[in-house]
Amino acid sequence: GIDSLSDLKKLSVLGRGNGGTVYKVSHKQTGSVYALKVLRFGEDDAAATREAEILQRVDSEYIVRCFGVFNGEFPEVDGGGGGGGLCFVMEYMDYGSLHDVLRKKKRLPEHVISCIVRSVLKGLEYLHGIQVVHRDIKPSNLLVNLRGHVKIADFGVSWVVNSGGDHTRCTCTDGSCMGTCAYMSPERLDPERWDGGRCDGFVGDVWSLGVVAMECYVGRFPLIGPGQKPDWVTLMCAICFGENVESVVKMASPEFESFCQRCLERDWRKRRTVEELLSHPFVTNSEINGVEDLVSYIASSN
């Protein structure tokens, strides 16, 4: 195992986010490669602690593995003066995020989307089963490896049901809206749709997955037109009152269109649950050689 952060050598930066940075690192003694997420103290310590708790609790092949949490400084980057942070040693996903995949491939064929969607649904089935709502399902939080595995990552804004706190609020009215709000469900953006607190939030993850699936198909963020500016008002209107799924996924198979419609049902009470979607034909059709399809697809050069 990894005993201390000083056993790790920094190789490169994989991602930089709000309160933290993710490094590719190697274990000096064994040469094994990991991803190290460092969340600085003093940014949002409560959120960092919650992320650590969730990561240490989850145990599923559809969720990125965490091998240890360290409270301290990563000497390779802090040089001793950085003040330190909460550091998560995670399994390294060598094909990056779905966001990176989409940048390279532009758009994905339906059989590949089916395989991705099935993995994410299985991850969500697990999370919802332990009362965790992810709340930030989007391409940059879905990680891929060359063995064709797709895993959910980033529990930075996740919510443990009935753990207290106000989970209905959305606090993004600033410039980072596109990143934080674009995949949010109508009920999260418009508190009136919460129905007096009866919504527990689980189907919000389903909405987000539907947006991701459509984005994979059309090759761009699907809810607003290619020329529209993704500001707060435009996004909010598109999510709460925008166009129908049919007009976005033109030419898709009936199964795919139906799947997207079930996910993007604006009324959360009518939206399908994760369990229901796991037996949707779009998801079950490619079950037989799903992972092989995904491996050969991401390994292909174009």
Binding residues for ATP: 37
Residue from 58, 93, 150, 203 that binds ligand ADP (CB under 6 A)? 93
- Closest approach, Cβ 22 to Mg ion, in A, equals 9
CA atoms within 13 Å, Cβ hemisphere of 96: 14
- Find the part of the chain contacting ligand ADP (CB under 6 A) among 103-111, 116-124, 148-156, 278-286: 148-156
List helix spans (H) across the chain: 45-57, 75-78, 98-105, 110-129, 177-181, 186-189, 202-218, 232-241, 245-248, 254-263, 274-278, 281-284, 290-299
Cβ atoms of residues 152 and 137 within 8 Å: yes
Q: Give dist(CA 205, CA 196) in Å, integer.
A: 19
**205 contact choice in Mg ion, ligand ADP, none (CB below 5 to 8 Å, kind-dependent):** none
Residue from 156, 201, 210, 242 that binds ligand ADP (CB under 6 A)? 156
For ligand ADP, the closer of residues 73 and 91 by Cβ is 91
Distance of CA 225 to CAs 172, 247, 248, 295, Å?
Answer: 21, 11, 9, 31
Q: Which of 3, 59, 100, 136 is catalytic?
A: 136
Residues 30-46 as b or e (16 or more Cβ within 10 Å = b): eeeebbbbbbbbeebee
For ligand ADP, the closer of residues 177 and 277 by Cβ is 177
**97 contact choice in Mg ion, ligand ADP, none (CB below 5 to 8 Å, kind-dependent):** ligand ADP
- Closest approach, Cβ 99 to ligand ADP, in A, equals 6
- Residues near Mg ion (CB under 5 A) are 141, 154
- Closest approach, Cβ 24 to ligand ADP, in A, equals 7
- Closest approach, Cβ 179 to Mg ion, in A, equals 9
- Find the part of the chain contacting ligand ADP (CB under 6 A) among 87-95, 104-112, 167-175, 213-221: 87-95
**116 contact choice in ligand ADP, Mg ion, none (CB below 5 to 8 Å, kind-dependent):** none
Compose the 12-31 pattern: x for residues touching ligand ADP by CB under 6 A, - for all others. Answer: --xx-xx-x-x---------
Using CB atoms, what's the residue nearest to ligand ADP? 17
Q: How many residues bind ligand ADP (CB under 6 A)?
A: 21
The two three-digit tokens of residue 11, written as one number: 């190789």
Phi, psi of 35 (to 5 degrees): -105, 135
Q: Give dist(CA 301, CA 296) in Å, integer.
A: 10
**265 contact choice in ligand ADP, Mg ion, none (CB below 5 to 8 Å, kind-dependent):** none
Establish whether 267 is a catalytic residue: no
For ligand ADP, the closer of residues 19 and 210 by Cβ is 19
Cβ atoms of residues 65 and 126 within 8 Å: no
**Interaction between residue 85 and ligand ADP (CB under 6 A):** no
Cβ atoms of residues 62 and 152 within 8 Å: yes
Distance of CA 130 to CAs 56, 123, 137, 180, 279, Å?
Answer: 13, 11, 17, 24, 21
Count of CB atoms situated within 10 Å of the CB of 287 = 11
**Site residues, ligand ADP (CB under 6 A):** 14-15, 17-18, 20, 22, 35, 37, 64, 90-93, 96-97, 140-141, 143, 153-154, 156
Residues acting as catalytic residues: 136
